[in-house]
Amino acid sequence: SDTYLSEHHVRSVLCLPLITQGKLVGVLYLENNLAPRVFTPSRIAILKLLASQAAISLENTRLYRDLEQRLTEQKRAEMEIRALKDQLYRENLALRDEVDRASMFEEIVGNSKPLQAVLSRIAKVAPTDSTVFITGETGTGKELIARAVHKRSQRAGRAFVSVNCAALAPSLISSELFGHEKGAFTGAVQRRLGRFELADGGTIFLDEVGELLADTQVALLRVLQEREFERVGGGQPIHVDVRVIAATNRDLKAAVANGTFRQDLFYRLNVFPIEMPPLRERKDDILMLIEYFVQRYANRAGKNIRSIDKKTLELLQSYDWPGNIRELQNVIERSVILISGDVFSVDELWLSTQTAQLGPPVEPSPDLKRERRSERGIIEAALAESRGRVSGPSGAAARLGIPPSTLEHKIKALKISKSQFKYN
């Protein structure tokens, strides 16, 4: 009565279940259209063995396909996780950059005695509202110290406003510090708040305060004495609650002596002095600083630096670092960018012009003496043109096309007095 069997003239049929681990995974179907009853008991016994093996093979195939699918899904999930990790890594780098720009350095690195003395003074003065006066060469980290004082003070939750007095044009310093009213001068199209108003309730950091002109010194003295000022072009006194931290790389005592800096302002600023030692006096900190900056810039560049070349360590530790920590930081950042392996090294030629002298001092040759006299004349001419100013767009360093820290180092080495050019 079966249509299929009659159409195909089927004479014999055998169906065997394919079972493995008590589970039906298929059916073995055999037919013969030549003779009836061809599936004898002996043949069926053999076919049962075949069916048992076929069931195992089918189940193994199914399990393999399941495993393959799971592996594919796992790989897809791993790729998604890797993509998320890369995204988080890029976001982390961006956030770290943002923090770096906001705070310069995340930590004060080093444990040398000179640095520990500075940290001790920070801990003592930070909880107070006393004016802090930070001195030290260019690149020693004076702003880092100022931020450390602010972060450990009761004003830590308020603004920290930094002003580089040397970078501002003399005609704009008063406007930048105290703000201006609309129409106070050409280009003053609207009222503008000064840095002191922006720092109200917080801390203002006056870097290179020794570069202020006489009239700005008078206005700053008034702020320190009375905590009030007037905007440029305004007549209304403005009161502020601001902690002042000032810094300079100049010898202000000498500037007071020759009349280029007000004595009363100096004493108002010099309430709690902190002197930042140059890096050459912190030799014990150089190794820690190298490791810190290498790791920092390697992470930022996405590089895996495993070690530091021994010759490079010796070179960096013996170098005099006239530009101090800032110069070390720049050299390491540049090196990390350029290296392609996992060992950090520095090109010795970058430091060859000012490498440290490890032996006893040697009497300079006549040629070197002539070179130094010529160099002195060029520097003095540039200082005369800039009225003794080193930094800023019209400073002597810009005129000579060299970094201010390098020029400061040369001025000190040649024992040139900048103050003599102040009013030339």
What is the pLDDT at residue 107? 63
pLDDT tens digits for 171-208? 788 888 888 888 777 777 788 888 888 899 999 999 99
Global model pTM greater than 0.75 = no
Q: SS3 of 293, please?
A: helix
Q: Is CATH 1.20.210.10 correct for 280-354?
A: no
Q: Which of 134, 150, 131 is nearest to 142 (CA)?
A: 134
Q: Please state the rounded mean pLDDT for residues 58-86.
A: 85
pLDDT at position 358 over 60 = no
pLDDT at position 105 over 70 = no
pLDDT at position 368 over 70 = no
In one-letter notation, the amino acid at residue 131 is T
Query: Whole-angstrom Cα distance, residue 327 to residue 8?
Result: 95
Binned at pLDDT 50, 70 and 90, residue 82 comes out as confident
Q: Is CATH 3.40.50.720 correct for 113-277?
A: no
Report whether 242 contacts 200 (CB < 8 A): yes
Report whether 401 contacts 407 (CB < 8 A): no
DSSP 104-118: S-SS-----HHHHHH
Q: What are the boundaries of each domain within the chain? A: 1-100, 113-277, 280-354, 366-421
Mean pLDDT, the chain, whole residue set: 83
Query: Whole-angstrom Cα distance, residue 200 to residue 131?
Result: 15
pLDDT at position 356 over 50 = no
Report whether 217 contacts 256 (CB < 8 A): no
Run of H or E residues at 18: strand 12-20
What is the pLDDT at residue 423? 61
pLDDT tens digits for 10-37? 888 899 999 888 888 889 889 988 888 8
The domains spanning 113-277 and 280-354 adopt the same CATH topology: no
CB atoms within 10 A of CB 370: 11
Q: Which of 86-100, 118-132, 148-162, 392-406 shows the lowest per-residue confidence on average (mean pLDDT)? A: 86-100
Q: Please state the rounded mean pLDDT for residues 291-298.
A: 92
Write out 158-183 in H/E/C secondary structure: CCEEEEEHHHCCHHHHHHHHHCECCC
